[in-house]
């Protein structure tokens, strides 16, 4: 039927749009201008510069090649395969030459799933993280490249990744999008509030910046990915649990999510390097992601927010997913009785 | 041929996309949250509240109906026709009722070109301005409604409009998009500069915020539109001249444009109300528009920047236009000799 045809003639990976956007400078400039991100990758290279000697490296989705150039200039790998699917690869080659690294860095244009290397690699490094950690699902390409090209005992950077969640206040955002309609210019615009609810609160707010003081509990790692054992099929549905003892009484407007990734040392016992995109770390271009509740709820110290989070990969549009949060508040007064049992609507991202 | 067909089957006004976006809250919230804009319209109503008594008003592209509600609540018009083409009209009706104005304000869903009123109006008010004043070309609908429904001697709000231009510095933007590539993280990324030039400087930068201190000369009105005499065909090509004596030595990175509109009094000799979106006024959601030169140029006090600006309406996509700036620098030392004659590339907006 027509609907089925529509879908089958379009690319469920939307690669033309996806790699097209990485063929322009805008996204690369945004990523390079993110010092916290870029310098963490440099720090991982610098703190492993001795161990990287004579190692073979693959830098997957290398973009402008900045990580490959760090490897070539700050360590002595025997070879770095810089793999980039978008048309940026052509410029990456020029940048490698311009920086005198063409004997160490080989640029290959292709996807992680398809690229052919002459040898296996000791280190697979990639910056694949998106909003809520896995959005864009570039991680699939990384896992595929790992299974094809990482030698037994080779190292993955990042080596592990966590999705962090916290129940939070969002007074400014709530005021701007919802309370606003109560009396703008002395008028009653409350009939627009259901529309505002639908338009602003049923989708995640990317690029949210949460202040540490807006966290109503200690943030928790709710999902942990081991980059050595994670399988592509595991990405279809990723589930985490949470149990937040409330530390600050306040208005519970929603949940905020962010991620951290870890770069293990190439040496046993060496220091792990961390990139944390949360509110207690340097700001990054990812910022945080806010999921608003249907209605704000008051929380008191002693209450607990418990529940589960499920990331369900879209069965058709493979770079997208829905995020579902099921939660209860268990009040101090009555630990056994759920005061509230509320689903957030499924959120397509 | 196929190309011709492609164009003929699509709507050159892109109305589905255009009015679709006004059917959601985002743009209406942005406009309502712009206090400078919204309060100027209120000020025009308040300062004419006596003269508005028993007048018939049309509020074209009324959106949520805020201007109509100002008229109904702060003056005593006999009737306000609130005309809105997007599906927001249905909510506007609810808001009129919610605010007890349904006896004065009649909401009509339709375009300015098509709407039918039972009578001519004394005042046609509209907020039709876009980036560089005319972008979106909603002004055409206003002119069409004027010719059909404004009575002889009726008043237009705005009554006139100007596009203002100034040669300016843009050190931060230049550093962020162009100088950045010189040495990020100790690397030479200058091979990307031609790409950066193409991607960031050949299109206007909307939502630019210029500081008064970045103006290298006194801003000038380069285009003036009289809303009583302006004809739809005049919109095809709008030309202005400029002659800027440089007041501050500095780096000439580009031209910044913004607009001002004027609301004449309904009474002879009454005060004119002004909405100015420039850097010396309260910020608005329009901000300013920056046109970058291919290369920065040094300017000294005593130099003159002269030239012409042409807004050419796109012959196919009727809400779009190209902006061309032709300019020379006449230096103090040699007033008669053009040091430089440089075209900005045509800029599609
Ligand atoms: Ca990314
Ligand atoms: Ca507008």
Q: Which ligand is nearest to the CA of B131?
A: 2
Cβ neighbours of residue B214 closer than 8 Å, sequence gap 6 or more: B168, B169, B170, B171, B256, B279
pLDDT for B149 beyond 90? yes
Mean pLDDT of chain A: 92
Q: Which residues in chain A touch residue B87, judged by CB atoms under 8 angstroms apart?
A: none
CA atoms within 13 A on the CB side of B248: 15
Measure the N-to-C terminal CA separation of chain B; round to a whole number of Å: 27
Virtual CA dihedral for A289, A290, A291, A296, nearest 10 degrees?
Answer: 170
Mutant choice from A191, A195, A199 vs B, greatest count of B C-beta within 10 A: A191
B32 and A196 within 8 Å at the Cβ level: the answer is: no
Q: How close B341 gets to chain A, by Cα (Å)? A: 29
Give the pLDDT mean for A28-34.
97
Distance to chain B for A175, nearest Cα, Å: 11
Which residue in this structure is represented by tokens 């005499």?
B229
Q: Which of B22, B29, B38, B65 to mutate to test the interface with A (most CBs of A within 10 A)?
A: B29
Distance of CA A292 from the midpoint of ligand 1 (Å): 24
pLDDT at B334: 59
pLDDT of residue B123: 98
- Which residues in chain A touch residue B191, judged by CB atoms under 8 angstroms apart? 91, 94-95, 98
Q: Flag whether pLDDT at B109 surpasses 70.
A: yes
Of B26, B38, B187, the CB nearest to A99: B187
Tokens of A136: 């864009």
Contact B70 A185 (CB under 8 A): yes
Q: Mean of the pLDDT values across residues B12-41?
A: 89
Residues of A in contact with B69 (CB under 8 A): 187
Nearest ligand, measured from the Cα of B127: 2
* Res A167: pLDDT: 98
In B, minimum Cα distance to A185 occurs at B39
Catalytic residues of A: 127, 136
Give the residue among B77, B228, B99, B242 at the shortest CA–CA distance from B160: B228
pLDDT digits (tens, 9 = 90+) for A192-220: 999 999 999 999 999 999 999 999 999 99
Give the confidence band of A3 by pLDDT, cuts at 50, 70, 90. very low
Give start and end residues of each alpha helix (H) in chain A.
Answer: 2-9, 15-22, 25-33, 35-46, 66-74, 89-98, 138-149, 171-177, 193-196
Quote the tokens at residue B292: 């970058």
pLDDT band at A340 (very low <50, low <70, confident <90, very high): very low
> Which residue in chain B is spatially nearest to A183 when comparing CA positions?
B99
Provide the pLDDT for residue A21.
74
Catalytic residue, candidates B17, B84, B90, B127: B127
Side-chain half-sphere exposure of A338, counting CA atoms within 13 A: 9
Task: Quick: pLDDT tens for B63-84.
Answer: 999 999 999 999 999 999 999 9
Q: What's the mean pLDDT in B13-28?
A: 82
How many Å lie between the centroid of ligand 1 and the Cα of residue B198? 24
- Helix (H) / strand (E) element for B15: namely helix B15-22
Query: What was the pLDDT predicted at A22?
Result: 76
Give the model's confidence band at A179: pLDDT under 50 very low, under 70 low, under 90 confident, else very high. Answer: very high
The alpha carbon of A129 and the centre of ligand 1 are apart by a number of angstroms equal to 5
Buried b (16+ CB within 10 A) or exposed e, A62-94: bbbbbbbbbbbbbbebebbbbbbbbebbebbbb
Work out the burial of residue B203: count CB atoms within 10 Å of its CB; fewer than 13 is exposed, 13-18 middle, 19 or more buried.
middle
Q: What pLDDT is recorded for position A334?
A: 58
**Burial of residue B148 (number of CB atoms within 10 Å: 0-12, 13-18, 19+):** middle
ipTM: 0.90
Per-residue pLDDT reduced to its tens digit, B212-241: 999 999 999 999 999 999 999 999 999 999
Once rounded to an integer, what is the mean pLDDT over residues B157-171? 98
Dmax of chain A from CA atoms? 71
**CA B77/CA A46 separation, integer angstroms:** 74
Rounded CA separation A298/A292 (Å): 14
- The tens digit of pLDDT for each residue in B256-303 reads 999 999 999 999 999 999 999 999 999 999 999 999 999 999 999 999
Ligand 1 midpoint to CA A138 (Å): 8
Cα B242 from Cα A5, distance rounded (Å): 56
pLDDT of B7 over the 50 cut = no
Question: Looking at residue A17, what is its pLDDT?
Answer: 76
- pLDDT at position A13, please? 76
Residue B97 has pLDDT above 80, yes or no: yes
pLDDT at A4 over 60: no
Task: Tell me the pTM.
Answer: 0.90
Q: What's the pLDDT band for A23 if we cut at 50, 70, 90?
A: confident
Write out pLDDT tens, residues A224-235.
Answer: 999 999 999 999
Q: Mean pLDDT throughout B295-317?
A: 96
Q: B339 CB contacts (<8 Å, ≥6 apart)? A: B328, B329, B330, B331
DSSP secondary structure string for all residues of B198-222: IIIISS-EEEE---GGGBSB--EEE
Q: Are the beta carbons of A71 and A77 closer than 8 angstroms?
A: yes
Nearest to B141 by CA among B59, B215, B79, B35: B59
- Helix, strand, coil abundance in chain A, percent, nearest 5: 30, 35, 35
Q: What are phi and psi of A312, to 5 degrees?
A: -110, 115
Q: What is the DSSP string of B102-141?
A: TTTEEEEES-TTT---SS-EEEEEE---BTTBTTT-HHHH
Q: Tell me, yes or no, if B37 comes closer than 8 A to chain A by beta carbon.
A: no
Euclidean distance between CA atoms A128 and A145, whole angstroms: 12
Q: Give residue B333's pLDDT band: very low, low, confident or very high (50, 70, 90).
A: low
Query: Does residue A336 register a pLDDT over 70?
Result: no
Q: Which residues of B touch A183 (CB under 8 A)?
A: none
Q: Does residue B18 contact residue B318 with C-beta atoms inside 8 Å?
A: no
Provide the pairing of β-strand B79-84 with B105-109: parallel
pLDDT at B346 over 70: no
Ligand nearest to the CA of A38: 1
The pLDDT of residue A8 is above 90: no
Q: What integer pLDDT is reported at residue B20 of this predicted model?
A: 73
CA angle B299, B303, B304 (to 5 degrees): 110
CA of B220 to the centre of ligand 2 (A): 22
pLDDT value at position B343? 44
Ligand with an atom nearest the CA of residue B138: 2
Verify whether residue B127 is a known catalytic residue. yes
Q: Is the pLDDT reported for residue B342 higher than 80?
A: no
Which pLDDT does position A18 carry in this prediction?
Answer: 76
The whole-chain average pLDDT of chain B stands at 92
Given this model, what pLDDT does residue A348 score? 54
CB contact under 8 A, B196 and A29: yes
């Amino acid at each position: 039927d027509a609907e089925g045809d529509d879908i089958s003639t379009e690319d469920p990976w939307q690669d033309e749009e996806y790699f097209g956007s990485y063929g322009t400078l805008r996204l690369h400039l945004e990523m390079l201008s993110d010092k916290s991100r870029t310098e963490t990758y440099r720090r991982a290279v610098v703190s492993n510069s001795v161990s990287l000697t004579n190692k073979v490296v693959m830098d997957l989705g290398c973009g402008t090649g900045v990580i490959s150039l760090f490897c070539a200039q700050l360590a002595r790998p025997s070879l770095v395969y810089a793999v980039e699917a978008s048309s940026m690869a052509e410029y990456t080659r020029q940048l490698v030459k311009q920086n005198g690294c063409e004997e160490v860095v080989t640029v290959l244009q292709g996807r992680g799933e398809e690229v052919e290397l002459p040898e296996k690699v000791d280190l697979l490094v990639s910056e694949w993280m998106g909003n809520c950690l896995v959005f864009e699902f570039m991680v699939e390409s990384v896992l595929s490249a790992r299974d094809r090209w990482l030698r037994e005992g080779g190292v993955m950077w990042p080596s592990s990744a966590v999705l962090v969640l916290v129940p939070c206040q969002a007074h400014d955002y709530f005021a701007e999008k919802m309370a606003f309609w109560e009396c703008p210019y002395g008028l009653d615009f409350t009939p627009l509030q259901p529309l505002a609810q639908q338009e602003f609160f049923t989708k995640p707010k990317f690029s949210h910046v949460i202040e540490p003081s807006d966290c109503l509990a200690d943030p928790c790692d709710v999902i942990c990915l081991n980059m050595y054992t994670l399988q592509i099929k595991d990405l279809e549905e990723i589930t985490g649990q949470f149990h937040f003892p409330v530390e600050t009484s306040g208005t519970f407007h929603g949940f905020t999510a962010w991620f951290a990734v870890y770069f293990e040392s190439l040496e046993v016992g060496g220091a792990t390097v961390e990139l944390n995109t949360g509110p207690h770390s340097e700001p990054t271009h990812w910022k945080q992601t806010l999921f608003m509740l249907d209605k704000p709820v008051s929380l008191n110290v002693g209450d607990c927010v418990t529940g589960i989070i499920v990331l369900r990969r879209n069965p058709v549009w493979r770079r997208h997913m829905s995020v579902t949060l099921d939660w209860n508040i268990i009040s101090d007064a009555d630990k056994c009785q759920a005061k509230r049992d509320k689903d957030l609507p499924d959120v397509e991202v």
